[in-house]
Amino acid sequence: MAEVLLFHHAHGLTSGVRAFAGALEAAGHRVHLPDLYEGRVFEDLQDGVGHAREVGFETIIERGRAAAEKLPAGLVHLGFSLGVLPAQALAQTRAGARGALLLHSCVPVSEFGGAWPQGVPVQIHGMDADEFFVADGDLDAARALVASTPDAELFLYPGDRHLFADSSLPSYDEKATALLTERVIGFLDGVR
């Protein structure tokens, strides 16, 4: 059983994020779901991004760190888009990380110390024509991470949807999410 700290995306802690966590739990893993937005959920992505900007991305990362402090070491850090910020920061800087799962986003490793920690496996998942993932540089950051890290994998899915793994959003893609979920559970099953 892996213990997962899962961070939501810019819409907030939606029912789709909760359902994804439920699928991981049904596969035998323990999932922690902190609410980085303190109860706020946004129907419109741009409203959610605006809220994150207003709160501050550093504050979002610090809220993630605070959530991790209450938990033991040995976590797999998982983030959906905006949630990749605290997930990746923790995977790179918190001792004892067992792995990272970066969904719909990836930032350059230089943002959190310059190098990916040795022995911490990572998977990055995104759609190959997602305007946010491709045009905002996330795909380039993901490719650089994979090129420099033996335990890194990048999975690209056909399509242009950003938050395709959240079943509560119009961008949901059932087929891509099924494959992503299978790969994520396989990753978690391999973490010991």
In terms of Cα–Cα distance, which of 119, 42, 113, 116 is closest to 81? 42
Mean pLDDT of each 10-residue bin along the chain, 192 residues long? 97 98 98 97 96 96 96 96 98 96 97 92 98 96 96 97 98 98 98 80
Which residues pair with residue 76 across a beta bridge? 4, 99
> Any idea which residue has 């970066």 for tokens?
102
**pLDDT at residue 65, rounded to an integer:** 97
Tokens of 46: 């741009």
One-character DSSP codes across 46-102: HHHHHHHHHH-HHHHHHHHHHHHHTS-S-PEEEEEGGGHHHHHHHHHHSTT--EEEE
Tokens of 100: 């990272």
In terms of Cα–Cα distance, which of 138, 180, 141 is closest to 158? 180
**pLDDT at residue 77, rounded to an integer:** 98
**pLDDT at residue 113, rounded to an integer:** 86
Strands of 152-157's sheet in order across = 30-32, 3-7, 76-80, 99-103, 122-127, 152-157
Longest Cα–Cα distance of the chain, Å, equals 39
**pLDDT at residue 168, rounded to an integer:** 98
**pLDDT at residue 114, rounded to an integer:** 79
Domains of the chain: 3-190 (3.40.50.1820)
